[in-house]
Chain A
Amino acid sequence: MINVTEMLYKTALRFPDNKAFKDPDKSISFKELYDIAKRTAFVFLEGSVCESLKQGSPVAFYMEKSVDAVCVMFGAVFAGGFYSFIDVRQPVKRALDVLDILRPSVIVTDSENTEAAHELISGYNGSAALINIEDLLNRAYNADYRDDIIKKAESGYYDLMPLYVNFTSGSTGKPKGVAVSHRSVIDFIEVFTKTFGIDENDILANQAPFDFDVSVKDIYSALYTGAQVLLIPRDYFSNPSVLMDYLTDNKVTSLTWAVSALCFVSIMNGLEYKAPLTVKRVMFSGEVMPVKQLNKWKRYLPDATYVNLYGPTEITCNCSYHILDREYERDGDIPAGIPFENEKVFLLDENDTEVTGSGKEGEICVSGTCVALGYYRDEERTAAVFTQNPLNKCYAERIYRTGDIGKYDENGLLLYVSRKDFQIKHMGQRIELGEIEASVASIDGVSRACCIYEEKKKRIVLFYTGDADKDEVRDGLAKRLPQFMMPGKTIHLEEFPLNKNGKIDRNVLIDTI
C-alpha cells in the first residue's frame, strides 16, 4: 500500500454501507466517502475553483472538524496533495505565521469561520483561494466527473509524500509544522489496530481536533478496519452531561483521548452522571495520567482495557505503549512501556552513548518508518532533531531525538521522566515556554521575559521587566498567542535574579510564586 486512499478503497469494498464518520449533524458511509472524496479531488484538479492542485502541495483547513471536513481532506489526498488544519482559536498573527510556513494555494473554510478566514487572507502575503466547504462539496456532487483525471494523479503517488502537516509550538516564537508521510501512517495504523484488536464493530469516539495527531489514530483506524468514527465537537468538553449523553446514545466502544480530556470527564463528574458502559478500551496519551482520575474511570468501567500510549507527533502518533495490568499509587509510575512493532526506541546519554539497564536516564530516541519527514519548510530546525543515529556508523539511519528524558524500570519497561528543555504540556497542548517568552519580548515596553510552569496549579506564570503595565502585556499577548498559551499569572519585576553564569535564575523565580 502506498497511499491511504487504498485503505479507503478496500474498506469501501468490504463494508460499503458501514457508517464511516458521524457528527451531530450528519453521517457518511465508506462508499459515500470514497465517492465524494474522489469527486472533490476532481474539483481540486480541474482548476475551476482554484489553481489545479499540485502533487505534494497543501490544502489548508480553517474550520473545526466535521464529516464534511473529512470528505474534503480525502479529496485533497486523492488529488495527490496533503491537508493541514489551522487552529481557528489562535490569534490572526499566529495563524499567519502558520500560513507563511505552509503557503497553501487553497484554504477551505465553513460559514461559521468565513469572516475570520477573510481577515486572515487579507493579511497573508501569498495568494490563496478561499473556498466555502458547502460550495465545494455541492460542486463536487454536481461535477462532470472524469476518472482519467484522478487516475493521472494516482499514477504519481509514492508513499513518502506528505499526508498531513500538524503545527506545534516552537521555542523561537514561530510554530513548527510536522510533516508526516503516507508510509508512516500506513505502517503505524496496521500495527496499532492489530495490537489493540480494533475492528469493524468498533465505534471510536474522536475527541482530538484534527490539528492534533491523536485524531490520526481514530481516522485511519476506521479507514483501515471499517470501524466508525464519532466526531465529538469541542464545546461538548465544557458540558459534561451533553457529552455523556452523546457517548452513551451512540454506544461508543473505544476512546483514544488526550489525558486532559479523560480528566475533564472524571473531574466534571460526567461518569457519575452517565458512564459509557459500552466502552471496552480507554487509551490515553499526551501527559502523565493522574492516578486519582484513572481510578475513577476504572471504578465506573472496571472491565475496560486501559492503555498508556507514549510518543510525540514527530514519530507518527506513538512509539510505545503499556497495557495497564496493576494498580498504581503515584502519577509517574505508569510506564511508557514497550515499543510498537517495527519501531526502535532507545536512550542516549549526553555523550551519545546508549543507555541500557534499569535506572539510568537518557534522551528517548526513535528510529524506523514512523519517523516524520521533518518540519515543513524548515531545514534548520529539522536538522537539529532529525539526525543520523550516532550509534550507527555503517549506513544512513534517521532518528528523532524527542527531548524527553526516560529510563528503564527493573522489568525493562520504558518510563518517562521529564523534559530536557522548556517544553511543557498544558491543557493537553504541547507548549514551548520560549514561544511565549519571545512573544512577550516583542511587546513595546518589555525588556525581558521568563516563563515558569507551576505544576501544582497547572498554570503558566510570566515574569517580565520593563515599563509596560500588565494590561499592555496581556493585550499584546492576546494578539499573538492562542488562549491555551496565555499565562495564568503575570508578575512584573524590577530586575531578574541571575545565577552565577549570568542567566535568569529560574529556581529563585519558582520560590517567589
Chain B
Amino acid sequence: MDKLLDILCDIRDDVDFDTCDDLIDGKILTSFDIIQILAALDDEYDIAIPATEIIPENFNSAQAIYDLVQRLKG
C-alpha cells in the first residue's frame, strides 16, 4: 500500500491519497490522471487493467485502487 501511495503522489502531489475517498466522484482526478495511474500500475506491477474495470468505484480511493491491483494480480 505504501508503494502504491508513493506512485499516486508522484502523479499528483497535491492530492491527499491517504484520506480521499471520492477521487473520481469528487472530480479530483481527471481522465488524464487516470491514464498516468494506469501506465504507472503497468510499469510497477505489470498489469493491464481492462476497460470494464475502469469505473469510478475502482478509482475513488487509494484503497480501492489497491484492492483492484490485488484482484488483478491474483
Let me know if A483 and B50 touch, CB within 8 A: no
Let me know if B38 and A241 touch, CB within 8 A: no
- Mark B1-40 against chain A: 1 for CB-CB distance below 8 A, else 0: 0000000001111100000000010010111101110110
- CA–CA, A363 to B17, complex, Å? 44
- CA–CA, A268 to B34, complex, Å? 9
Contacts A268-B38, A458-B36, A489-B13 known; A273 to B30 CB distance under 8 Å?
no
- CA–CA, A264 to B39, complex, Å? 11
- CA–CA, A314 to B24, complex, Å? 34
Let me know if B14 and A268 touch, CB within 8 A: no
Let me know if B51 and A484 touch, CB within 8 A: no
- CA–CA, A457 to B39, complex, Å? 10
Q: Which of A241, A478, A490 contacts B54 (CB 8 A)?
A: A241
Which listed segment binds B: A123-131, A232-240, A499-507? A232-240
**A311 in the interface, Cβ–Cβ < 8 Å?**
no
Q: Which of A272, A483, A486 contacts B51 (CB 8 A)?
A: A272
- CA–CA, A247 to B55, complex, Å? 17
Q: Which of A264, A273, A488 contacts B12 (CB 8 A)?
A: A488
Q: Which chain A residues lie closer than 8 Å to B48 at the CB level?
A: 269
Contacts A238-B24, A488-B12 known; A264 to B50 CB distance under 8 Å?
no
Let me know if B35 and A268 touch, CB within 8 A: yes
Q: Which chain A residues lie closer than 8 Å to B10 at the CB level?
A: 489
**Whose C-beta in chain A lies nearest to the C-beta of B36?**
A458
- CA–CA, A414 to B20, complex, Å? 47
Let me know if A269 and B32 touch, CB within 8 A: no
**Whose C-beta in chain B lies nearest to the C-beta of A242?**
B55
Contacts A474-B14, A484-B30, A488-B12 known; A241 to B35 CB distance under 8 Å?
no
Q: Which of B24, B30, B36, B49 has the most CB of A within 10 A?
A: B30
Let me know if B52 and A260 touch, CB within 8 A: no
Q: Which chain B residues lie closer than 8 Å to A237 at the CB level?
A: 31
Let me know if A273 and B35 touch, CB within 8 A: no
**A427 in the interface, Cβ–Cβ < 8 Å?**
yes
- Mark A478-513 against chain B: 1 for CB-CB distance below 8 A, else 0: 100001101111100000000000000000000000
- CA–CA, A89 to B27, complex, Å? 10
Let me know if B35 and A264 touch, CB within 8 A: yes
Let me know if B51 and A267 touch, CB within 8 A: no
- CA–CA, A467 to B7, complex, Å? 28
Q: Which chain A residues lie closer than 8 Å to B39 at the CB level?
A: 267
Let me know if A490 and B13 touch, CB within 8 A: yes
Let me know if B11 and A238 touch, CB within 8 A: no
Q: Which chain B residues lie closer than 8 Å to A458 at the CB level?
A: 32, 36
- Mark A227-256 against chain B: 1 for CB-CB distance below 8 A, else 0: 000000000011111001000000000000
Q: Which of A267, A474, A478, A489 has the most CB of B within 10 A?
A: A267
- CA–CA, A474 to B50, complex, Å? 33
Q: Which of A478, A483, A484, A486 has the most CB of B within 10 A?
A: A483
- CA–CA, A478 to B14, complex, Å? 10
Let me know if B49 and A238 touch, CB within 8 A: no
- CA–CA, A478 to B12, complex, Å? 13
A-B contact pairs, 13 of them (CB 8 A): A89-B27, A238-B30, A241-B55, A244-B51, A263-B35, A264-B32, A268-B51, A269-B48, A269-B50, A270-B51, A274-B51, A457-B36, A487-B14
Q: A residues within 8 Å of B by Cβ?
A: 89, 237-241, 244, 260, 263-264, 267-270, 272-274, 427, 457-459, 474, 478, 483-484, 486-490
Question: Given contacts A238-B56, A269-B48, could you give 17 more A-B pairs where the C-beta distance is less than 8 Å?
Answer: A237-B31, A238-B29, A238-B34, A240-B51, A241-B55, A263-B35, A264-B32, A268-B38, A273-B50, A427-B30, A459-B36, A474-B14, A478-B14, A483-B30, A484-B30, A489-B10, A490-B13
